[in-house]
Structure 1
């Protein structure tokens, strides 16, 4: 039955990548294991054959050495030559040389200078009847390992051939069985999943068994998923339409909110301007009719109106940061700082401030927002300077780091102003938060909040560090333009 299926599906069988991958992995695994096993087996066989070949040295040492020494001592070189002939007749002995202490030399065979030759020398000593040991010469014997190596390669070829045949047959059988039991069913599952409609359930063309196997679990999971997906598809168009309507309402709501904030800011500022105008008129034209307390009331009224006007202005600027539709472009920060410092030149000169600006990078951003960010930071340093010493403002790059989205630079804006306690580092970056209650220092508590929102709009951030009475450090992170 399996063979019939194999023959009927032969074109698809050989075109199946999974089955081909299986047989390749099977061959590789079996080959590696066979090589290890064969290498281990042959290594021990080779060592054993070498030891067997070297037994000739032990035989000579135990059986022939004493008789050869006696023959040389008695100058019986005929007998010595017979002993050498007997040794040289052994299969692996290729060369024997006997050198006596009197200068005589006897050889058998031909000396070979190859790597597969082992050589050993024996000192010949004769024990005289008087008990003296007399050195009488030296024997050198070379044996060849050529026979051992030939046997090694014959065994290697035989074992590898047998393993190759066994691996090939086992791989073909596994290939056919895997296709019959798994791969053809996977093809059927794939064609079922890829069909355009959602009707019917998936079944496999095979005999059912009492216990479910892995394929049955896959089929059950697919059918369950299809039932759920079918219910979801019935509502998909309706949900997409609801989402489109919600998006349209959200866009319209954002547009209405933008128009409302602009109109509301204008309408709120108009009565404030009138309050300031009439307050100025009262102070300028009716000064004589107002006592000191009345003039104080007028001053407080105009100051409150000015603070309210600045607050509305800052709220409008804060809301416009996230509504900016300008595209990011390369912004030269040194040029931005030059413009900002030029606008504050008179203020900086009046307080004898010292400003140091390092070489800043070109960042990716919106130029008008970058200008507003650094203008707010410089203004903040001027407002919160220390009355005890001249302002020292330092702006420089402290770090450039790589991220998945590109290079990010960290720019430090530090001063030696009045500073703040470290526990307020996050508070001062929130909207409407001011640590100084002195009304002589202008501000609405929105400047640093606007700076942080601009930095976050540029995929960066703004953090603060400070020490009361020593100064503060604001660190801005911004994306750097590549190249």
Structure 2
């Protein structure tokens, strides 16, 4: 049986009872640190979620400005190979779950991938059209060109991937901050134990010794003295002053008791002498 391990376990079990102040500080620090970690993680996840949604909006805007016009021309030209190539380029963009190209009657022409899972996706649709006729520069500027509807492109963005990425990010942030806060907490507790708590325990033991009547030795803290006195020095000096004051009171009472005993002895001697003189005077009177 490993006795050092058993002793260490016993000290750990008795730590809340032997060091209640340190234990309470550790508990409060842990609770407040955990609340801070949860709040900071929630804020970071919220910011990351907004950033992801902005990226999706920017990506949809990029598709609208860079791909829609060329897709409409390819549909007008019945260029199947070019359509598939352009759709694969869109499909290669981040977080694009599926693409579906429909003609003006609603019939699906191309679907990437062929098996689409409709789960946690955000759909965006774009109309593919071309001008039905061209106007010369001499025509009225208020006359608008009518457009011919060719089809519709439906883009599904995979929100499940974004959510999974956010959960991974949140877990990493939570884990990293928890480890960091635990490390900082252990360092703070070690510093407090070395600089404050152990000296407070020494002062508590010294005060108990004073109560038991041990007034000979002054309190000396086992530490390097700072350049200027701090609160611990003030407290130690107050305890030492209290010890000297108690010793002074005890010595004063002892001196007063000695004086009382001396006066009592003197009074007793005076009474004895007076009694003896009276006895002698009586004897002389009787003989006469």
After TM superposition, list the pairs within 5 Å mapping 1:327-476 onto structure 2: none
Say whether residues 1:219 and 2:236 are aligned partners: yes
Superposition TM-score, scaled by structure 2 size: 0.64
Deviation, structure 1 residue 78: 5.2
Secondary structure of 1:140 counterpart: strand
Is 1:23–1:174's contact at 8 Å kept on the other side of the alignment?
Answer: no
Deviation, structure 1 residue 193: 2.1
> How far apart are the structure 1 equivalents of 2:187 and 2:73?
70
Deviation, structure 1 residue 119: 1.1
Is 2:206–2:219's contact at 8 Å kept on the other side of the alignment?
Answer: no
Residue matched to 1:153:
167
Out of 108, 115, 137, the position equivalent to 2:112 is 108
Higher strand share: 1
* TM-aligned CA distance change 1:82 to 1:184, over 3 Å: closer
Residues 313-369 of structure 1 deviation map (CA, whole Å, 9 limit, x = unaligned): xxxxxxxxxxxxxxxxxxxxxxxxxxxxxxxxxxxxxxxxxxxxxxxxxxxxxxxxx
Deviation, structure 1 residue 142: 0.1
Is 2:95–2:162's contact at 8 Å kept on the other side of the alignment?
Answer: no
Secondary structure of 2:127 counterpart: strand
> How far apart are the structure 2 equivalents of 1:111 and 1:211?
75
> How far apart are the structure 2 equivalents of 1:123 and 1:55?
18
* TM-aligned CA distance change 1:136 to 1:210, over 3 Å: closer
Deviation, structure 1 residue 88: 2.8
> How far apart are the structure 2 equivalents of 1:78 and 1:11?
77
Q: Does 1 or 2 have the higher relative contact order (CA < 8 Å, sep 6+)? A: 2
Say whether residues 1:128 and 2:145 are aligned partners: no
Out of 46, 49, 54, the position equivalent to 1:51 is 54
Superposition TM-score, scaled by structure 1 size: 0.40
Deviation, structure 1 residue 197: 1.8
Deviation, structure 1 residue 203: 0.9
Number of corresponding residues? 226
Residue matched to 1:182:
196
Residue matched to 2:225:
208
Say whether residues 1:62 and 2:65 are aligned partners: yes
> How far apart are the structure 2 equivalents of 1:154 and 1:22?
32
Secondary structure of 2:118 counterpart: coil
Structure with bigger gyration radius: 1
Higher helix share: 2
Is 1:198–1:226's contact at 8 Å kept on the other side of the alignment?
Answer: no
Q: Cα RMSD over matched residues?
A: 3.4
> How far apart are the structure 1 equivalents of 2:229 and 2:32?
30
Mind listing any 5+ residue stretches in structure 1 that lack a counterpart? 1-7, 236-483
Mind listing any 5+ residue stretches in structure 2 that lack a counterpart? 1-7, 135-144, 254-288
Deviation, structure 1 residue 141: 0.8
> How far apart are the structure 2 equivalents of 1:76 and 1:208?
88
Deviation, structure 1 residue 162: 2.8
> How far apart are the structure 2 equivalents of 1:34 and 1:108?
42
